[in-house]
Structure 1
C-alpha cells in the first residue's frame, strides 16, 4: 500500500513528462534556446528522483538516489531560469548548493538515518538557491510580463519550500518510514501536506509557466524577425507599414518624413560595407532617440529611413526634421581606418484625417528627390 500511495501523491511530477517533451520540441525548433533543453533535463531528473522513492528500493538507497537527482533537477531549473535572460548560474553557487546537499543527505541516510533531516536539508538549500536566482533575475531581466511571470513562479516555488522547512519541526515525523504505522503517521503530518502541494501543484505549475513563457519568447522573436531590421533594430518596411497604417487610422493629421543617406554607395565603396553598416546604425540611433509616443521610425530600404509623426502638423515636422538633419550632419563615424562624416536628405509629406500611407510615401519620395536634386543635405516639402 505504501508504494501505491507514493505513486499516487507523485502523479503531479509524472504529469510533467508531457511538459518536458514540449520543451524538447521547442528546443528542436530553436536550437539557440538552450534554456528549453535545460528545463527538459530538470523535469527528467525530477521524475527520476520521484521514481527512486516509489519503486520499493531500501530506504537508504532510495534516499541517496533521490538526494542526488533532486538537487541536480533544481540546479538545472535554476540554470534554465537564468539562461533564458542571458545569464548563467555561477559555478560557485552550484557547488555551494550541491556539495552540502549530497553530504547531508548521505549523512541522514547512512550515518544517522533521519527522514526529517533529509527533507529539511533539501527544501532549505533549494529555497536558498532559488533566492539567489530571484536576486539575479531582478537585476538582469527586462521588465516585461513574461519575465515577471517567471519571477513570480520562482518566488512561489521558493516560498513553498520555505513553508515546508518551517512546518517540519512541528510535525510528528518518524525517524524513518519502515512500517505501515510509520507511513500512516507521516501521511497525517503538515509537512507531508506541504510536500504534496509542492510536488503536485507548485513545481508542475512552475514548469508549465516556464513553458508558456518560452512559447511567448519564441513568438516574440519570430515577430521581431518578421517586422524588424536585424542591423539597426528598427522596424523594417513591413513592420513600419503595419504600425504606420494603424496609427493613421486614428490620427486627425499626420506627417511622413523620408530620409536617405547621401552618397551612401561611396561610403561602401571607399570604406567598406562594415563602415556603411556603422553609418546606418549611427543614424538609426539618432532617429530612435528622437521619437516619442505617437511617432514611429523604420528602415524601409538600404539607406532609406521613414518616420511617421502622428498628430503632428507640417510646421512642427519641418522643425523636427531639421533637428535630425543637423544631428546627422554633425555625426562622425569611426570606421576603424578613418573617421567619416555623413549627411542625409529629407522629404516631407503632410496628410489629414484618414490619410493613406501609400499616398504619403509617394508624396514624401517626390519631396526627397527634390532635396537630392537641389544638392542634398537639406529638407524638401511636397507642396
Structure 2
C-alpha cells in the first residue's frame, strides 16, 4: 500500500467528519431541515470520493467498463444539490427543484454518453464540472439577492461564487495548459484530479465552517430573543423592554423633541381572578391582553410585560393626547371576542396610566410618573385611563366633544 492512499483518503475523511458534525447539530435543531441537507450532502461527497479514489482502485471494479464512475459522479452531483438546498434553506429561499433535476439529469446524460458510447475523459469532466458550476452559480445568484446580515453570510456568497468559477474554469485552464486530461487508467494521477484533491478540501471546509458559523449566529440571536421575550404574553419581558426603551430614550437625548409618552397598564383584580378561576385562566387573561397590545402597537412602539399583570408601552413620536387615545383603545380590550376562551362570569378590565417625557427625562422618571397616574386610575375606580398631572375626566370630555 503506497503513501498515496492517505492523500486519497483526505476528501472522504473530511466529508465524513463534516457529515457527522452537521448530523449532530441537526439532532439538536430538528426544525432546521437545511442542516440535515448539509449532513446528507457531505455524507454523499465522502462516499463518492471513496468510490472514485479508493474502493475500486484498491479493491477492483466489479462493474463492467469502469461503471463505478457513474456512481461516484452521481454522488458529486447529488452532493452539490444537497448543499445548494442547505444554503438556500438557511435563507428560507424556495428550492429550485426543477433546475437541480434538469442540470443533474443533463450532466448524467453527458457522463453516460462519454463513458459508454463515445468514450472521452474531457467530455465526462466537462459534463459533471459544468453542472456543479451551474449549481454553485445558482447559489451565488440567489444569495446576491437576499439581505446578508452577517459576515458569515457574505462569505457564503463568495464561497459559492468562487466554487462556480472553480468548477467552470479549472477544466478549461488545465486542458489549455496540458493539452488533455491523460488516459483513463491514470486519471487519478492526472493534473486535473490532483487539483480536485487539493481544491475540494479547501472549498468543503470553508463552506462548512461558514455555514456552521451562520447557524451559530442564528442560534445566538434566537437565544437572545428568547432571553428578552415573555413567553406568556408574547411581548418583551422587563429586561428586554428596559433595554430597548433606554436605548430609545438615550437616542432622543435631552431635547423635548421628538415627543415620547409612556403607558403603564395593569389588569384589574388579577389576584382575585387567579384565586377564583385558577392560574390557567389568569395566564389566559395575560396572554389575551398581550395579544391585544401586539395587535394595536405599531413598529416603532416598544411593548413589554414588566410585572405579573403589568404592561408598559413606550410611544415615540406621540403627544400626550395621542397617547391618551391609544391608551383608551387598549383599555377597550375586546374580552367578549374571546368569550369562548374565558369563563362566562369573568369580567376582565384594565387600568392605565400615561406620562409624557420632558427635556432631560429618563426612562425611570417616566415610569414613575406613569405609575402615579396608574395609581390615580385605580383609586378612581379602575377600568379607566389617567394622565400624570391631569385630573380631567377624558371619557366625559370626549363624550361632550362628540355631541
Normalised TM-score (structure 2): 0.71
CA 1:329–1:305: 2 relative to 1, 3 Å = closer
Residues 1:204 and 2:205 aligned together? yes
**Residue 210 of structure 1, CA deviation:** 0.5
- Select which of 259, 263, 287 maps to 2:297: 287
Any residues of structure 2 matched to 1:53-68 within 5 Å, and which? 53-55=52-54, 56=57, 57-58=60-61, 60-68=66-74
Contact preservation (8 Å) 2:268, 2:383: no
**Residue 193 of structure 1, CA deviation:** 6.6
* 1:179-217 CA distance string (max 9 Å, x none): 4xx666x32xxx557534530212321111101111111
Aligned to 2:393: none
Q: Secondary structure at the match of 2:95?
A: coil
| CA RMSD across the alignment | 4.3
CA 1:98–1:279: 2 relative to 1, 3 Å = farther
Contact preservation (8 Å) 1:45, 1:72: yes
Contact preservation (8 Å) 2:232, 2:286: no
Name the CA distance, whole Å, in 1 between partners of 2:4 and 2:228: 53
Contact preservation (8 Å) 1:278, 1:335: no
**Residue 324 of structure 1, CA deviation:** 3.1
Q: Secondary structure at the match of 1:345?
A: strand
Tell me whether 300-309 or 20-29 shows the greater mean CA deviation: 300-309
Residues 1:260 and 2:247 aligned together? no
* 1:324-377 CA distance string (max 9 Å, x none): 336657998995999xxx9873332758869574x6545432322323444645
Aligned to 1:21: 20
Any residues of structure 2 matched to 1:79-228 within 5 Å, and which? 79-137=85-143, 141-145=146-150, 146-167=152-173, 169-170=175-176, 171-174=178-181, 176-179=183-186, 186-187=190-191, 191-192=192-193, 195-196=196-197, 198-228=199-229
**Residue 52 of structure 1, CA deviation:** 1.2
* 1:297-330 CA distance string (max 9 Å, x none): 43335764324579x9xxx662562363366579
Aligned to 1:381: 388
Name the CA distance, whole Å, in 2 between partners of 1:237 and 1:253: 24
Contact preservation (8 Å) 2:155, 2:210: yes
CA 1:336–1:152: 2 relative to 1, 3 Å = farther
Normalised TM-score (structure 1): 0.74
Name the CA distance, whole Å, in 2 between partners of 1:349 and 1:156: 55
* 1:149-170 CA distance string (max 9 Å, x none): 4333323322322222543552
Unpaired runs of 5+ residues, structure 1, are none
Tell me whether 249-258 or 145-154 shows the greater mean CA deviation: 249-258
Unpaired runs of 5+ residues, structure 2, are 271-276, 341-348, 391-403
Any residues of structure 2 matched to 1:26-37 within 5 Å, and which? 26-37=25-36
* 1:246-287 CA distance string (max 9 Å, x none): 66678755967233277798xxx9xx9989856633532443
* 1:75-105 CA distance string (max 9 Å, x none): 2111112222334524423321332233322
Q: Secondary structure at the match of 2:183?
A: coil
Any residues of structure 2 matched to 1:311-322 within 5 Å, and which? 318-319=320-321, 321-322=323-324
Contact preservation (8 Å) 1:124, 1:165: no
* 1:103-140 CA distance string (max 9 Å, x none): 3223333333322222222221122223334444555x
Name the CA distance, whole Å, in 2 between partners of 1:382 and 1:152: 59
Name the CA distance, whole Å, in 2 between partners of 1:231 and 1:126: 48
Aligned to 1:325: 327
Q: RCO (CA 8 Å, sep 6+): is it higher in 1 or 2?
A: 1
Aligned to 1:240: 241
Residues 1:369 and 2:375 aligned together? yes
Name the CA distance, whole Å, in 1 between partners of 2:269 and 2:107: 62
Tell me whether 146-155 or 75-84 shows the greater mean CA deviation: 146-155
Say which one has the larger Rg: 2
Q: Secondary structure at the match of 1:289?
A: coil
Aligned to 2:40: 41
**Count of aligned pairs:** 361
